[in-house]
Amino acid sequence: MSLRRRMPPEARRSAILAAATELMAGHGWDTVTVSGIVDAAEISKGGFYHHFSSKDAVMEAVIRDLAASGLDSAVRALDTTEGDALKRFTAFVTAGLDWESARAETLDQIARIAAQRGNDPFFGRLQENAIEHLRPALVALVRAGAAEGTFSMSDAETGPAVDLLLHLLLSRWRTIAEARGHARAGAPDRAKRIVADRLNAESALMARVLGLTEAQAASLAEGRTGYAGSLSAS
Amino acid sequence: MSLRRRMPPEARRSAILAAATELMAGHGWDTVTVSGIVDAAEISKGGFYHHFSSKDAVMEAVIRDLAASGLDSAVRALDTTEGDALKRFTAFVTAGLDWESARAETLDQIARIAAQRGNDPFFGRLQENAIEHLRPALVALVRAGAAEGTFSMSDAETGPAVDLLLHLLLSRWRTIAEARGHARAGAPDRAKRIVADRLNAESALMARVLGLTEAQAASLAEGRTGYAGSLSAS
DNA sequence: TTACATACCGACCACCGGTCGGTAATCAAG
DNA sequence: CTTGATTACCGACCGGTGGTCGGTATGTAA
């Protein structure tokens, strides 16, 4: 009974993470059990708790594993881009889009997990994590944009407006998931239209929230053309 | 050990609900145990399961208990008000506001529960419940408003736009909770300013999302003056 | 070889949500 | 005032959960 196979800690850790991620895509977090993860990862309970301090810690790690690189690249785009606030905002949004199409399978996993009933804790923390990373940067950007006259926004509006922008970006996965469903069901045209409509609506609404002029709105929308939606089946 | 006190089922039910609500305001849902509810409500486990089919059913009932009347009054305002889409939308928002100030202690409970870590399942379902009730009505309203020329909105934008409006309304509790904290800490002026700023920002952002003219936006903002925020200590 | 750190094991624990056979209160009918 | 059916309620009990811990195997460096 004791085939004991020693693995480099990092490999074991990511094996556990992979097992947990897959289980989460099938059940809600409360019905994903440590025993289940342990079985799927082919390790003992003791081994599991050697690598993770609690069941919750696994979820936290899964979230970081799935989202960290995307958030980082978006914030980095915002920080490194030169130009006015609109240009930087466009770079920020585009970076997120690029990440989504480059890591389509990751996005797909997130969508599958978030679609499961009972995964509210997962999605809540994912969102918390994202907001924690993105909100300060966006607030600063919007403030700067308002100061330089690029955006039309009073100081008191900035907070709620940024929350709206974040909500818009973070709720995109629902549409993506819906489109994936159509694509898998043999309606790729419909899928593409849904994604295109969504992105257009996002651009238009972001422009309204930020108080952009027609010309500015067009420039924002332009920055995100060519995004295929990467509707690969999985 | 067996002081058996029989109560009218409804009274017992609401006693259990009250106990559960109070416990939820202190712990997250996963650390609120049936035994805890049972102790607080002074009933046995068997008695508990005579009135509720599961732990989850209690949460569902708590949600309905807290939110149903507010949602109903908002939708009713939308349905019964005569006039153009802007008037009806204003009535809808105002009805929600009125309910919030009339039932300040209920709002306070919601805020306290939602602020607890680990209550994502509660808040997720509350939000689901609210969206389920409000979204169809709002979508129809916005469509009608766009058709009659009151709002400026393409068909594909309507869905995401309504989601934005709902997010704006459903995230108000955060600000309210923050303001309550200030009020309780002896800074009622600051509290009032926070609430006033928030409501102004909401009006402005809703106007932008709906594509209202200056005059329309002013009319929308006017409909919600006089809301005191009802910052009663609890 | 030896000595030490660490990856890993699995029996064990307290406690959880939920079940069930039984008991006591209530009330309508005779 | 009985009787009998109904229902509110009780608490011992169950399978399974997340988490612990003393112990064992494995790798590494002297």
Q: Are B187 and B110 contained in the same domain?
A: yes
Q: In the numeric block, which tokens belong to residue B211?
A: 């594509």
Q: In the numeric block, which tokens belong to residue A121?
A: 């804790």
User: Does any domain span residue B138?
Assistant: yes
State the pLDDT at residue A222.
84
Q: What percent of chain A has pLDDT over 70?
A: 94
User: Does any domain span residue A48?
Assistant: no
pLDDT category of residue A226 using cuts at 50, 70 and 90: low
- Which chain B residues contact residue A160 at CB under 8 A? 168, 171, 198, 201-202, 205
Centroid of chain to Cα B208: 23
What's the pLDDT tens digit per position in A11-26?
999 999 999 999 999 9
Q: Does residue B27 approach strand C to less than 7 Å at its CB?
A: no
Q: Are B18 and B130 contained in the same domain?
A: no
Q: What is the CATH number of the domain that holds B16?
A: 1.10.10.60
Tell me the average pLDDT of chain A: 92
Q: What is the DSSP string of B88-128?
A: HHHHHHHHHHHHHHHTHHHHHHHHHHHHSTT-HHHHHHHHH
Do A120 and B118 lie within an 8 Å CB cutoff? no
Among candidate residues B52, B167, B22, B137, the one with its CA nearest the CA of residue A171: B167
pLDDT at A79 over 70: yes
Q: Mind listing the pLDDT tens digit of every residue in chain B (234 residues)?
A: 456 778 989 999 999 999 999 999 999 999 999 999 999 999 999 999 999 999 999 999 999 999 999 999 999 999 999 999 999 999 999 999 999 999 989 999 999 999 899 999 999 999 999 999 999 999 999 999 999 999 999 999 999 999 999 999 999 999 998 998 999 999 999 999 999 999 999 999 999 999 999 999 999 988 776 565 555 433
Q: What is the CATH number of the domain that holds A103?
A: 1.10.357
Q: Are B154 and B96 contained in the same domain?
A: yes
Question: Are A24 and A113 within 8 A, CB to CB?
Answer: yes
Nearest Cβ partner for A208 among B163, B202, B211:
B211
Q: In the numeric block, which tokens belong to residue B89?
A: 């939308």
Chain D: positions less than 7 Å from a protein CB are 7-13, 16-23, 25-27
Q: What percent of chain B has pLDDT over 90?
A: 86
pLDDT at A34 over 70: yes
Distance CA A106, CA A229 (A): 13
Q: Is A168 on the interface with B (CB under 8 A)?
A: yes
Q: Which domain holds residue A151?
A: 63-222
User: What is the nearest CA distance from A209 to chain B, expressed in angstroms?
Assistant: 6
User: Does any domain span residue A94?
Assistant: yes
Helix (H/G/I), strand (E/B), else coil: A137? helix
Give the pLDDT mean for A140-146: 98
pLDDT at A138 over 60: yes
User: Does any domain span residue A95?
Assistant: yes
Under 8 Å CB-to-CB from B179, ≥6 apart: which residues? B191, B192, B194, B195, B198, B229, B231
How many C-beta atoms surround the C-beta of residue B188 within 10 A?
Answer: 15
Distances A156 to A210, B100, B204 between C-alpha atoms, Å? 13, 22, 11
Q: Are B144 and B215 contained in the same domain?
A: yes
pLDDT category of residue A5 using cuts at 50, 70 and 90: confident
pLDDT at A231 over 80: no
Number of helical H runs and strand E runs in chain A: 11, 0
Helix axes of A85-102 and A104-115: crossing angle, nearest 10 degrees: 80
pLDDT at A40 over 60: yes
State the pLDDT at residue B227.
61
Question: Looking at this protein, which amino acid is placed at residue B233?
Answer: A
Q: Are B80 and B195 contained in the same domain?
A: yes
pLDDT at A230 over 90: no
Q: Are B105 and B186 contained in the same domain?
A: yes
Q: Are B197 and B110 contained in the same domain?
A: yes
pTM score, two decimals? 0.93
Q: Are B38 and B77 contained in the same domain?
A: no
pLDDT category of residue A228 using cuts at 50, 70 and 90: low
Question: For residues A213 and A2, which has the higher predicted lDDT (pLDDT)?
Answer: A213
Cβ–Cβ pairs < 8 A, chains A and B: 74
User: Does any domain span residue B60?
Assistant: no
Which of A45-49, A58-62, A159-163, B187-191 shows the lowest mean pLDDT across its residues? B187-191
What's the pLDDT tens digit per position in A177-225?
999 899 999 999 999 999 999 999 999 999 999 999 999 999 998 877 6
Domain count, chain B: 2
What's the pLDDT tens digit per position in B86-107?
999 999 999 999 999 999 899 9
State the pLDDT at residue B119.
94
Helix axes of B120-148 and B55-80: crossing angle, nearest 10 degrees: 20
Q: What is the DSSP secondary structure assignment for residue A150, as one 8-state letter? A: S
State the pLDDT at residue A39.
97
Q: Does residue A8 approach strand D to less than 7 Å at its CB?
A: no
